[in-house]
């Protein structure tokens, strides 16, 4: 095995914390990070907090909203569509909180006819979904696809395919793993923003809008009728399903066109283009986040721009079973037989036979994660300190996170039925630890990673207080 050169920032400027840095093999990345650590000038720039190799980033063009998107915007904020008459998309996807759950809400949002029915999952941010690919079980989609392959055929193929462990060193190789990838919602059950919008609209614990006929009537009698006719033609109200689907198309256009859904105004974006300087703690956090022997976070939460200069989304859009603890504050979890198993159900129904995917959830973007107070699909953790503690100690001190059974044995990964707990990722760092091993990150290092994650917060959003 090739031995990695170990260089410490402390050697360069005498930083207080001497961080052991392994060489990175991000050869295919537009930023060859390994060079920064080998060249004295690059490491000097880095040690001063500067990006040694600023890049140009290609972000969505900013233009006035089309009439379609303007209509979508009004609908996004319109509570009259909901069953209670009180809930709009913005009630759960708060524009003042990066379109994630509003400050002060619980692990899941309340909705339904009286606004008191609890949901099942944490509300994701609606930012940065514009590049989310459709759901497949294949290497990252490459375009032309002339043979139609069903998802179960893909799953069967994937079952025989070996899997490369994910490391910051090999994100290009692991992108070729035959694993579930893409799609929207925590389980990828819909592909496009348009398909997605009528999910919450008709979901009885969300907007609870009733039938398409009800929504179509509200739209026809409401203030948007003229615009709907102008945009979609006189026949737009002839068929309620058609009416709803056009209205949802408008909401999707709003999310795609409005720069508020992809502002790229974080300190990290400014750092990438060479217009901001990291503090020493941010720099340490950045390096730990990207170090395959430390956080290894960037193996899944991709942190580097793509080869064609698109800014990083902080997700590889793949699915993993991390085995987060069950959240007793979700009312549905009062039933010991109820399990939210992600890809294999119960909210998604087409993959229930693919039990190798039970417990797998979409890797979320970490952009604006520091503004959240409900983490993971079930909102079980409330701040990043708890998240980091669990990442580092999941298998070292499981008794701190999971309950015990009658015999006193800790029930690790207790939010997944026992027979599927083998799906939990125990091979990608930092999940490859065993009791007695040294923790992947010290407490000070965990704090540094949190400080780095705060640089991913957009200018108009606010980090949660520590």
| Position 196 contacts ligand HEC (CB under 6 A) | yes
Question: Shortest approach of ligand HEC to residue 128 CB, angstroms?
Answer: 9
Are residues 22 and 293 in contact, defined by beta-carbon separation less than 8 angstroms?
yes
Q: How many CB atoms lie within 10 A of CB 114?
A: 11
- What residues between 379 and 408 interact with ligand HEC by CB under 6 A? 384, 387, 391
| Position 127 contacts ligand HEC (CB under 6 A) | no
Question: Nearest to residue 59, comparing CAs of 305, 276, 252, 254?
Answer: 305
Residue 398 to residue 317: CA distance in whole angstroms: 27
Question: Shortest approach of ligand HEC to residue 462 CB, angstroms?
Answer: 16
| Position 377 contacts ligand HEC (CB under 6 A) | yes
What are the CA-CA distances from residue 316 to residues 176, 267, 345, 413 (Å)? Answer: 11, 21, 22, 23
Q: Rounded to a whole number, what is the distance in angstroms from the first to the last CA of the chain?
A: 42
| Position 168 contacts ligand HEC (CB under 6 A) | no
Residue from 257, 320, 448, 458 binding ligand HEC (CB under 6 A): 320
Question: Shortest approach of ligand HEC to residue 69 CB, angstroms?
Answer: 13
Are residues 333 and 417 in contact, defined by beta-carbon separation less than 8 angstroms?
no
**Binding segment (CB under 6 A) for ligand HEC, from list 235-243, 268-276, 293-301, 330-338:** 293-301
Question: Shortest approach of ligand HEC to residue 100 CB, angstroms?
Answer: 8
For the CA atoms of 368, 374, 378, 381, the dihedral, rounded to the nearest 10 degrees, stands at 110
| Closer residue to ligand HEC in complex, CB, 104/408 | 104
Residue 280 to residue 352: CA distance in whole angstroms: 48
| Closer residue to ligand HEC in complex, CB, 72/305 | 72
Tell me the HSE value of 142 on the side-chain side, using a 13 A CA sphere: 5
| Position 184 contacts ligand HEC (CB under 6 A) | yes
| Position 92 contacts ligand HEC (CB under 6 A) | yes
For the CA atoms of 184, 186, 187, 190, the dihedral, rounded to the nearest 10 degrees, stands at -20
- What residues between 60 and 89 interact with ligand HEC by CB under 6 A? 87, 89
| Residue ranges that bind ligand HEC, judged by CB under 6 A | 87, 89, 91-93, 109, 111, 119, 121, 123-124, 126, 129, 166, 184-186, 193, 196-197, 200-201, 206-207, 251, 295-297, 299-301, 320, 322, 324, 347, 361, 363-364, 366, 369, 372, 375-377, 384, 387, 391, 425, 428, 430, 449
């Amino acid at each position: 095995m090739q031995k990695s050169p170990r260089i410490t920032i402390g050697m360069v400027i005498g930083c207080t914390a001497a961080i052991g840095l392994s060489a990175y093999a991000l050869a295919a990345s537009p930023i060859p990070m390994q060079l920064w650590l080998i060249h004295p000038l690059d490491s000097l720039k880095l040690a001063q907090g500067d990006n040694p190799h600023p890049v140009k980033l290609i972000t969505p063009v900013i233009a006035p909203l089309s009439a379609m998107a303007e209509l979508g915007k009004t609908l996004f904020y319109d509570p009259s569509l909901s069953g209670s008459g009180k809930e709009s998309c913005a009630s759960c996807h708060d524009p003042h909180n990066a379109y994630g759950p509003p400050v002060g809400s619980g692990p899941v949002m309340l909705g339904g006819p009286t606004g008191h029915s609890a949901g099942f999952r944490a509300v994701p941010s609606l930012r940065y979904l514009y590049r989310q690919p459709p759901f497949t079980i294949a290497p990252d989609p490459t375009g032309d696809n002339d043979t139609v392959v069903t998802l179960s055929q893909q799953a069967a193929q994937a079952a025989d395919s070996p899997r490369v462990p994910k490391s910051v060193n090999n994100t290009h190789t692991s992108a070729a793993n035959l694993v579930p990838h893409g799609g929207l919602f925590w389980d990828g059950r819909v592909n496009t923003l348009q398909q997605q919008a009528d999910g919450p609209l008709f979901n009885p614990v969300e907007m609870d809008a009733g039938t398409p006929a009800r929504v179509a009537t509200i739209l026809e009698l409401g203030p948007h009728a003229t615009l709907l006719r102008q945009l979609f033609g006189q026949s737009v109200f002839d068929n309620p399903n058609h009416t709803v689907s056009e209205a949802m198309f408008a909401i999707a256009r709003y999310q795609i066109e409005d720069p508020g859904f992809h502002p790229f105004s974080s300190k990290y974006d400014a750092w990438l283009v060479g217009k901001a300087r990291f503090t020493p703690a941010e720099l340490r956090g950045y390096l730990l986040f990207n170090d395959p022997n430390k956080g290894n976070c960037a193996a899944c939460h991709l942190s580097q721009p793509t080869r064609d200069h698109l800014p990083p989304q902080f997700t590889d859009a793949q699915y993993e079973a991390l085995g987060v603890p069950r959240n007793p504050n979700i009312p549905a979890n009062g039933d010991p037989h109820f399990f939210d198993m992600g890809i294999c159900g119960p909210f998604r129904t087409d993959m229930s036979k693919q039990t190798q995917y039970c417990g797998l959830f979409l890797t979320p973007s970490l952009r604006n994660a520091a503004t959240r107070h409900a983490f993971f699909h079930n909102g079980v953790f409330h701040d990043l300190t708890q998240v980091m503690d669990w990442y580092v100690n999941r298998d070292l001190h499981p008794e701190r996170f999971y309950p015990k059974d009658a015999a006193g044995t800790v029930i690790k990964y207790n939010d997944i039925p026992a027979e599927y707990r083998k799906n939990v990722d125990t091979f990608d760092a930092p999940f490859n630890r065993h009791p007695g091993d040294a923790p992947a990150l010290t407490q000070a290092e965990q704090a540094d990673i949190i400080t780095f994650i705060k640089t991913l917060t957009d200018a108009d959003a606010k980090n949660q207080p520590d």
